[in-house]
Homo-oligomer: A and B are copies of this chain.
């Protein structure tokens, strides 16, 4: 039996549309005795909202099996004064932080969603405010540094672009809280009491999921759904242990290859 970390966006669903057969695959993985944890860089919803949303898509999981970047941010930045450029949906997860508009100890950059919110969150006004806080000595954190994400309408610019822009302007490197940071994988494995060498990461993102987990000593399976792009796999020179059409094929693949 293995410990398996499952990415959410692009692996279980795309833009709220479940991947065919994915919910059954999750059930079968559980029935076969694998320990599961759901690890996401998604920054649209709080842990509880995301749990509700996945259960509405017929995925069988509890909130405490879900690891969101907002919850990690709340732990890492506890007690500090934080200027947060994040979607309102994750504010529940940030409970316990002192969210303020100026004189911040840290700037926290969240992610984009598919609605109108990125326009408000990443307005020039907010980015300039973040820049001035960084110039005044605040540290820079981000929930993730993804370059783009896949939606039902195609790829969209993700918040990594705004993180990179603030890094460039301020000369300060951001600390990444979500995948592919080693701390994020370590926290997920600790929660299911697993060693990296015996654990699998299943994802659609070659950089964040596959390369990140490999660097953390884990084995990896890439799914051909979500943001999967054959040319990116080649360009980046990353070789996962397996590639499957979708999560629906994972139980059979593991049975044959474990």
Interface residues of A (CB under 8 A from B): 112, 118-119, 121-125, 127-128, 131-132, 135, 147-148, 154-158, 160-162, 164-171
CB contacts (< 8 Å) of A168 on chain B: these are 147, 160-161, 164-165
Evaluate contact between B147 and A158: CB separation under 8 angstroms. Answer: no
Copies in the complex: 2
CB contacts (< 8 Å) of A166 on chain B: these are 161
Which of B122, B123, B128, B161 lies in contact with A169, CB distance below 8 A?
B161
CB contacts (< 8 Å) of A165 on chain B: these are 161-162, 164-165, 168
Evaluate contact between A161 and B127: CB separation under 8 angstroms. Answer: yes
Provide the bound-state CA to CA distance between A128 and B147, in Å: 11
CB contacts (< 8 Å) of A125 on chain B: these are 119
Closest to A155 in B: B135
CB contacts (< 8 Å) of A171 on chain B: these are 147
Evaluate contact between B156 and A169: CB separation under 8 angstroms. Answer: no
Would you give the shortest CB distance from A125 to chain B, in whole angstroms?
6
CB contacts (< 8 Å) of A161 on chain B: these are 127, 131, 165-166, 168-169
Between-chain CB contacts (< 8 Å), 14 pairs? A118-B124, A122-B124, A127-B161, A128-B156, A131-B161, A147-B168, A147-B170, A147-B171, A148-B169, A161-B165, A161-B168, A164-B164, A164-B168, A165-B168
